[in-house]
Amino acid sequence: MSRLTTQRLRSAEPRLHPYRLGDGKGLALQVMPNGAKAWRFRYRFERREKMISLGLYPAVPLEAARRLRDEARDTLERGTDPSAERRMRKRHETQTFGVIAEDWLEKLSVDVQHGKRARATLKRSRWLLTRYLIPRLGRRPIRVIQPSELLVVLKQMELRGLRNAPRRALQKCGQLFRYAVGLGAAERDITADLAGLLERVTTEHHAAITDPRQLGRLLRSIDRFDSNTVTGIALRLAPLVFVRPVELATAEWVHIDLRIAEWRIPAERMKMRRPHLVPLSRQALALLRAAHNLSPGGPYVFPATRDWSQPMCASALNSALRRLGYRHDEMTAHGFRTTASTFLSELGYREDVIERQLAHSMRGRLRSIYNHAQYLSERREMMQAWADYLEQVRHSRGKGRMLGDAS
């Protein structure tokens, strides 16, 4: 069979029925009645005759068609069906970073609904991916993304002055790439190649007040804050319960029993993924009843101002402290935990009791069973004594520390 030439291809005229002009080794040009000219490669695989398209002429010229034919023949020699390889390649091309990311976020959302993940984790993951990563890598097949490409995106985040976000984004990408590996969309987790290449962020401890005079001034300042607002009540409740800000901001009425004075926080809302019980003092109950009077009937104790079906933002407590004049290096909403821990220790309460109320893992030993009601009697007494102590400090005007007796 003679090989095709460019002149012969150009001069091929359409006929009433399709016909082919062969070039050898399975390659032929099929001329259609409408004048279209398409490259075809015919081959046998596992005793079956097959055919794939190599594109249209003249968009795919003769030499390019021959190269595509030779690549397909090489695939056959490796024992692979060129048609199957093409389908796999197309599938990989559609498995972009953006598609896999949306799929992973959907799976994360299902985990949140089943209590396996915290809603804040989903929100943070979606923000990092949609704000910084998908706009730059979303259209790239995840299989072909190189570590250097991801590093450029993360370094751009660093140049914008973002402190923790680049390292968190790297962590999320690691989870995403491992998910892609499980799907067969990526060969490996490329984030392992970036270890140590991002700026190390110095751990910033949450600022807290541990002096009784300063604590008294803080409590009096909080009293002057607008107490008839959701944020005002939440800010007054924060030192009484000393839970993490996100746990307070997302508190739901269904988990609070005013009759028996208990707030049972489910595991999915806790950092350690373990249920937590907060005994409520008389002062805390009074604030919760005040919050209930402001409640629009939604599920959250402290709903968002613009959408009462959503909880308030945890950062609202820190914003309120800033408006009261406290800098981030003086006092934070998370700092109420440090404040309570420090004072309660000096008041003589046992470390195990304090640590359990802080929902910390017990230091110095492993506990095979986590009992959220452990030391409950002591914790009830401690929480009421702590609320009474805060009242004393609030009205003491800095006359000294009142240690009292702790049982």
Q: Smallest Cα–Cα separation from 245: which of 149, 332, 185, 159?
A: 332
Same domain, 224 and 265: yes
Same domain, 126 and 264: no
Q: Which of 205, 271, 327, 399 is catalytic?
A: 271
Same domain, 133 and 71: no
Integer angstrom CA distances of residue 297 from 215, 246, 287, 302: 34, 21, 17, 11
Would the pLDDT of 97 be above 90? yes
Catalytic, 276? Answer no
Same domain, 75 and 101: no
Mean pLDDT of the region 159-164: 80
Query: Is 267 contained in some domain?
Result: yes
Domain termination site, one of 130, 163, 194: 194
Chain segment 21-41, per-residue pLDDT in tens: 999 999 999 999 999 999 999
* Predicted pLDDT of residue 367: 46
Q: Which of 172, 337, 356, 379 is catalytic?
A: 337
* Predicted pLDDT of residue 370: 53
Same domain, 273 and 374: yes
Query: Is 225 contained in some domain?
Result: yes
* Predicted pLDDT of residue 207: 87
Would the pLDDT of 346 be above 70? yes
Burial class (CB in 10 A: 0-12, 13-18, 19+), 354: buried
Burial class (CB in 10 A: 0-12, 13-18, 19+), 130: middle
Same domain, 222 and 263: yes
Same domain, 376 and 323: yes
Would the pLDDT of 368 be above 50? no
Would the pLDDT of 401 be above 80? no
Mean pLDDT of the region 13-22: 95
Entry pTM: 0.57
Residue in this structure with the two tokens 């968002």, named with its chain if needed: 304
Strand partners, 29: 21, 39
If phi > 0 it is left, if psi is from -120 to 50 it is alpha, else beta; for residue 129 that is: alpha
Q: How many residues does the chain have?
A: 407
Mean pLDDT of the region 355-377: 69
Type of residue numbered 197: L
Give the chain's domain count: 3
Confidence of residue 362 (pLDDT cuts 50, 70, 90): low
**Interatomic CA distance for residues 302 and 300, integer angstroms:** 5
Would the pLDDT of 397 be above 70? no
Residue in this structure with the two tokens 């702790």, named with its chain if needed: 406
Q: What percent of the chain has a predicted confidence (pLDDT) above 70?
A: 92
Question: What is the largest distance, in Å, between two alpha-carbon atoms of the chain?
Answer: 108
Most confidently modeled of 150-154, 269-273, 361-365?
150-154
Q: Assess contact for 29 and 4: CB atoms under 8 A.
A: yes
* Predicted pLDDT of residue 184: 84
Same domain, 231 and 370: yes
Catalytic, 334? Answer yes
Which CATH number does the domain housing residue 113 bear? 1.10.150.130
Chain segment 238-289, per-residue pLDDT in tens: 999 999 999 999 999 999 999 999 999 998 888 777 899 999 999 999 999 9
Host domain of residue 277:
212-396
Please give the structure tokens belonging to residue 151: 């590093």
Residue in this structure with the two tokens 């009425």, named with its chain if needed: 253
Q: Smallest Cα–Cα separation from 254: which of 306, 312, 290, 297?
A: 297
Q: Assess contact for 242 and 337: CB atoms under 8 A.
A: yes
Catalytic, 360? Answer yes
Type of residue numbered 32: M
Same domain, 28 and 118: no
Same domain, 309 and 238: yes
Mean pLDDT of the region 193-220: 84
Query: Is 288 contained in some domain?
Result: yes
Domain termination site, one of 56, 82, 108: 82
Q: Comparing 91 with 322, which gets the higher pLDDT? A: 322
Catalytic, 337? Answer yes
Q: Which of 69, 117, 172, 244 is catalytic?
A: 244
Please give the structure tokens belonging to residue 141: 């097949």
Would the pLDDT of 65 be above 80? yes
* Predicted pLDDT of residue 406: 41
Mutual angle of helices 376-396 and 230-241, in 10-degree steps:
120
Q: Which of 360, 395, 397, 399 is catalytic?
A: 360
* Predicted pLDDT of residue 84: 86
Q: Assess contact for 393 and 219: CB atoms under 8 A.
A: yes
Mean pLDDT of the region 73-82: 92
Please give the structure tokens belonging to residue 282: 């008389």
Q: ω before 58 within 30° of 0 (cis)?
A: yes
Which CATH number does the domain housing residue 46 bear? 3.30.160.390
Query: Is 257 contained in some domain?
Result: yes
Would the pLDDT of 400 be above 50? no
Domain termination site, one of 167, 194, 221: 194
Same domain, 228 and 317: yes
Query: Is 1 contained in some domain?
Result: no
Same domain, 76 and 216: no
Q: Which of 126, 370, 394, 401 is catalytic?
A: 370
Catalytic, 271? Answer yes
**Interatomic CA distance for residues 114 and 118, integer angstroms:** 10
Q: What is the 3-state secondary structure (H, E, C) of the chain?
A: CCCCCHHHHHHCCCCCCCEEEEEECCEEEEECCCCCEEEEEEEEECCEEEEEEEEEECCCCHHHHHHHHHHHHHHHHCCCCHHHHHHHHHHHHHCEHHHHHHHHHHHHHHHHHCCCCCHHHHHHHHHHHHHHHHHHHCCCEHHHCCHHHHHHHHHHHHHCCCCCHHHHHHHHHHHHHHHHHHHCCCCCCHHHHHCCCCCCCCCCCCCCCCCHHHHHHHHHHHHHCCCCCHHHHHHHHHHHHCCCHHHHHCCEHHHEECCCCEEEECHHHCCCCCCEEEECCHHHHHHHHHHHHHCCCCCECCECCCCCCCECCCHHHHHHHHHCCCCCCCCCCCHHHHHHHHHHHHCCCCHHHHHHHCCCCCCCCCCCCCCCCCCHHHHHHHHHHHHHHHHHHHHHCCCCCCCCCCC
Catalytic, 244? Answer yes
